[in-house]
A and B are shown apart, each in its own frame.
Chain A
């Protein structure tokens, strides 16, 4: 049944030039367009939200204030009092990823966080920042981070490379977590969407499983909203934890 058409779940992640001929000449793809949209939405939320400067906030201002306070709380609780200086970075990161994830749920929009190139670039930036912060705050003492405490010196040549690898593995774990979650969700959506079309075309008997697939897709969209928010939060919280390690260096 319906074996004629194969499910093409991955072509949704292909990049196409956006904005017509100008975009094509500078390789401006729909992923870049979505990044710009995410940035504009973040800016718009804060700018339009905070424009009334009302004592009793309206809906948009409440959202903007809630966003600000949530991220500020995340910074100060996780990093400590020093977290305030990293607040602009965490806020930008969180909302860039959050809007990137959420925009992908809408039809015809593209999820730029479903590309490992994007998430890895973000992660490289985060890890580089964490390292630079640690070196600036602690100088050469930073390298004691890789020396576990209470270990005989004879074992250090074995343990220091392991610690360094564990430190560097943040690059992969942080980026793959976001990328895999977003990509897996969209592949599942695509697969069940294709089921609906194929079963629907296969004949009246198959309309019952087609409706079931449609119901699964509806549930998946809701699940995707949860995953999109959760993964943006996880990315930001893990960045905060890494920054806490860099600031406190235990």
Chain B
């Protein structure tokens, strides 16, 4: 690497080498990432989006109901915890959908500087 003169023969241009070096150091990773951070919604059909949203909503609810039911069995507080967890699960489902459709510009830099 160091004994390479680089003046007389440079098949990869400076731009390409800079890009390669930047991506190796992880400097260029965020831009392609923020585009697909929330799960490849760009090229999805309306049916795909609908199915995705439905699954996200329902799955949080299913997990919450399962946890609430299990905790109720554990503590013998039959309906209370499950009722609480249904509400929490609904909120978590909405949070999942929000993550799916969250505006990109506010999410990109935030995720970046926290990641450093």
Q: Is A16 an interface residue (CB 8 A)?
A: no
Q: Would you call B63 and A168 a contact (CB within 8 A)? A: yes
- Chain A 127-155 interface residues, beta-carbon cutoff 8 Å to B: 149
- In the complex, the answer to whether B56 meets A169 with C-beta atoms within 8 Å is yes
Indicate whether A166 sits within 8 Å of B110 (C-beta atoms), given known contacts A78-B33, A172-B59, A234-B40: no
A165 touches B88 (CB 8 A): yes
Majority SS at the chain B contact face: helix
Taking the closest CB of chain A, its distance from the CB of B101, in whole angstroms, is 14
Chain A, interface residues (CB within 8 Å), range = 20 to 34
Partner of B39, one of A149, A176, A241: A241
Contact across chains for B37 and A241 when beta carbons are under 8 A apart? yes
A165 and B29: CB pair below 8 A?
no
Give the residues in chain B near A80, CB-CB below 8 Å.
26, 29, 33
1/0 per residue, CB under 8 A from A, across B23-61: the answer is: 111100100110011011000000000011001101110
Residue of A nearest to B95 (CB): A166
User: Given B36, B112, B115, which contacts A249 in the complex, CB threshold below 8 Å?
Assistant: B115
Least CB distance from A148 to B in Å reads 9
- Whether B33 contacts A244 by the Cβ 8 Å rule is yes
Provide the main secondary structure of the chain A interface: helix
- Kindly identify, within residues 212 to 248 of chain A, every residue whose CB is under 8 Å from any CB belonging to chain B: 234, 237-238, 241, 244, 248
Q: How many A-B residue pairs have CB under 8 A?
A: 92
Of all chain B residues, which has the CB nearest A148? B95
**Chain A residues whose C-beta falls within 8 Å of the C-beta of B89 in the assembled complex:** 165, 169
Q: Which residues of A lie under 8 Å from residue B26 when comparing CB positions?
A: 80-82
For A161, the chain B residues whose CB sits under 8 A away are 88
- Determine if B64 and A165 form an interchain contact, defined as CB atoms under 8 angstroms apart: yes
**Complex Cα distance A169/B100, Å?**
14
Q: Tell me the bound Cα distance from A241 to B96 in angstroms.
A: 14
Most buried by B among A76, A149, A166: A166
In the complex, the answer to whether B63 meets A165 with C-beta atoms within 8 Å is: yes
Complex CA distance for A170 and B39, rounded to whole angstroms: 13
The proximity string for B residues 90-111 relative to A, scoring 1 for CB distances below 8 Å and 0 otherwise, is 0111011001000000000011
Q: Is B83 an interface residue (CB 8 A)?
A: no
Is A173 a contact partner of B33 (Cβ separation < 8 A)?
A: no
Instruction: Collect the chain B residues with CB atoms within 8 Å of residue A237's CB.
Output: 36, 39-40
Establish whether residues A172 and B33, one from each chain, have CB atoms under 8 Å apart when the complex forms: no
In the complex, are the beta carbons of B59 and A250 less than 8 A apart? no
Q: Contact: A248 with B36, CB < 8 Å?
A: no
Q: Tell me, yes or no, whether A182 is within 8 Å of chain B by CB.
A: no
Residues of B within 8 A of A97 (CB): none
Give A102-119 as 1s and 0s: 1 = Cβ < 8 Å from B's Cβ atoms: 000000000000000000
- A69 near B: Cβ within 8 Å? no
Closest 5 A-B residue pairs measured CB to CB?
A: A172-B59, A250-B111, A248-B115, A165-B92, A169-B60
Interface, chain A (partner B; CB < 8 A): 76-78, 80-82, 149, 161-163, 165-166, 168-173, 176-177, 180, 234, 237-238, 241, 244, 248-250
A-B contact sample (10 more), CB < 8 A, given A169-B64, A244-B33: A76-B23, A77-B32, A81-B25, A81-B26, A149-B110, A171-B63, A176-B59, A177-B55, A241-B37, A248-B111
